[in-house]
Amino acid sequence: MGYRYDRFPHLDIDAGEVVCGYDAIIQVIRGAISHRPFVLAVETYPGVRDEEVVPELERLSADCFVNMRDLYLPDKDMSKRMAPWLTDDRVFGRMYYGTVEEFLVPQSVAVARAAVGACEGLSIVYGMGATLLCDFGCCVYLDLTRWEIQLRYRAGMANYNCSNHDEDILRKYKRGYFVEWRMADRIKRGLGRRIDFVVDTNRAHEPKMISGSQFFKAIETFATSPFRMVPYFDPGVWGGQWMREHCNLDPEPDNYAWAFDGVMEEDSIRARFGTVDVELPAIDVVLFAPKELLGERNHSRFGAEFPIRFDLLDTVGGQNLSLQVHPTTDYIRGHFGMAYTQDESYYLLDATDDACVYLGVRRGVRGEEMLAALWQAQETGEFDAERYVNRLPAKRHDHFSIPAGTVHCSGAGAMVLEVSATPYIFTFKLWDWGRLGLDGKPRPISIERGAQVIQWERDTDWVEANLVSRPQLLHDGDDYTEEATGLHELEFVETRRYTIRTFVELGMRGSFSICNLVDGVAAKVVSPTGAFEPLEVHHAETFVIPAAAGMVRIEPMEGEVMLLRAYVRGSQRPTGMAGPGHEASAGHTTKGSRQ
């Protein structure tokens, strides 16, 4: 098989050119300042390099310049106020549902507003929350992806208005994930069409600016057309070698453990204007076009949140993942403020002859005995996992369901496509095989939390009856075969596998789908009505079909292909019920021409 994995996918946006570089950007912004007095609001996502941007803005010679950082509580007071959401835990916090204003000093805000109000010339308000300070004549939004933010954390960047440059990366990430990004996303979404310009700040000293109309044209295109997100890859202590070859990766790292290819909250999208790519957070599509992307039923249930994610876990030539368990819905809501939990599954893209999956406790295992052994292992460095946990052989195209509360992990020799509900940092590690992380520190172990959520009744018999997939044949014709492969009835994700020989047509019926080409070289995703441009996908690539895309046709490009499709169970309209802009009577699957 030839490997054509595209690491930098894009969609073409027919909406003008990109303004590149600070010289050109400052010139365009200067032209937008049409009268005096004038307020320019430069809203920033936390992680933008202020030290790079502020000197460039000073070239506008503002009569009044307000840096929002000066209006926030001092570092220690800000951290103290965040404490209920950050908690003392190294990894886990509580989801913050408040606003930026709770961390601003009222007196400082009043002084800044008065200064802007009294200014008869140009006022610039800069930073996170700039658009909340006062009315503005022009809004410039400086955006960047969360993966880039994480790389900056690793390089020593502190959290917003904080001096924690040398703090543990996990604690920096926690502060971003639970608090900063939540506040920033509320500001971003609240701005809507009031955004005049958007600047891609992902590459140092290489900003790219588009107008608000170009930005929303891009959002509209991604929300109505099948698309891929830009994946990112990272090494890990257990990482393998499969992705290095199959995904055209840099040969320098020792391994690649996982890839986020299909995680809307953290991946990015590339919008190509002419010959220039503008990289934007994929979450922008969810924030600004949730109904078009998700469909009305999903939006009603989940709000502006993409509820399913795909990622890749590579242990081929690597090691076992940590033995782990995910919290139940009741636990995650009560302890972390999340609405739903991380139900998931493992789909085997590839496997060595001795590959395995650890899943559920063994028949007759007593919980207190296993927990005692796990605690003792923290001292001795030894734990007999196979005495307590089922070790199941795993082969290519097997699919294992893993509802929350089930002890599990992928063993060595497996290339896993993880199909999961979106919450993805809530992993309670029970045993990590005596390893240290790549940073030389012990990886976080959460036996105490895990003990509160493990479903001990999920033993050998229950696992074999409920979690080991036995594909159900739904259709077998000349053009394609369709099978149901999972997931367990406790999980809200439904999956279908299509072996496509000539073509298959899929009706979205008012709900999105997320798919991966789990076998074969390449396929083309087209609109039977020409509603969107064709999308070419390759082996192991993930792509999203928005609800608003309506009907799609998937055609193999070189021989037979196999596709795994996931969607929210019960989210599709019954056949024959049509919504605006959707197919009138498309079924779950429209049979090929010879049916």
Q: What is the CA radius of gyration of the chain?
A: 25
CATH top-level class of 17-224:
alpha beta
- Report pLDDT for 271: 98
Question: Do 234-265+306-466 and 472-590 share a fold?
Answer: yes
- Report pLDDT for 579: 44
What torsion, rounded to 10 degrees, do the Cα atoms 283, 160, 98, 83 define?
A: 130
Tell me which architecture the domain covering 472-590 has in CATH.
Sandwich (2.60)
- Three-state DSSP at 270 gives strand
- Report pLDDT for 2: 54
- Report pLDDT for 595: 29
Q: Residue 294: which residues within 8 A CB-CB, separation 6 or more? A: 286, 302, 306, 307, 511, 512, 546, 547
- Report pLDDT for 486: 80
CA distance 241 to 84: 41
DSSP state of 427: -
- Report pLDDT for 149: 98
Instruction: Give me 405's structure tokens.
Output: 């509360």
Domain ranges of the chain: 17-224, 234-265+306-466, 472-590
pLDDT tens for the chain, 595 residues long, are 557 999 999 999 999 999 999 999 999 999 999 899 999 999 999 999 999 999 999 999 999 999 999 999 999 999 999 999 999 999 999 999 999 999 999 999 999 999 999 999 999 999 999 999 999 999 999 999 999 999 999 999 999 999 999 999 999 999 999 999 999 999 999 999 999 999 999 999 999 999 999 999 999 999 999 999 999 999 999 999 999 999 999 999 999 999 999 999 999 999 999 999 999 999 999 999 999 999 999 999 999 999 999 999 999 999 999 999 999 999 999 999 999 999 999 999 999 999 999 999 999 999 999 999 999 999 999 999 999 999 999 999 999 999 999 999 999 999 999 999 998 889 999 999 988 787 777 788 999 999 999 999 999 999 999 999 899 999 999 999 999 998 899 999 999 999 999 999 999 999 999 999 999 999 999 999 999 999 999 999 999 999 999 999 999 999 999 999 999 999 998 865 444 334 433 334 443 332 2
- Report pLDDT for 48: 98
Residue carrying the six token digits 């790519």: 277
Tell me which architecture the domain covering 234-265+306-466 has in CATH.
Sandwich (2.60)
CB neighbour burial string for 228-267, b if at least 16 within 10 angstroms, e if fewer: bbbbbbbbbbbbbbbbbebbebeeeeebbbbbbbbbbbbb
- Report pLDDT for 166: 95
- Report pLDDT for 424: 81
Alpha helices in 165-317 (DSSP H): 169-175, 181-191, 212-224, 242-246, 283-288, 290-294, 296-302
Residue carrying the six token digits 């208005």: 161
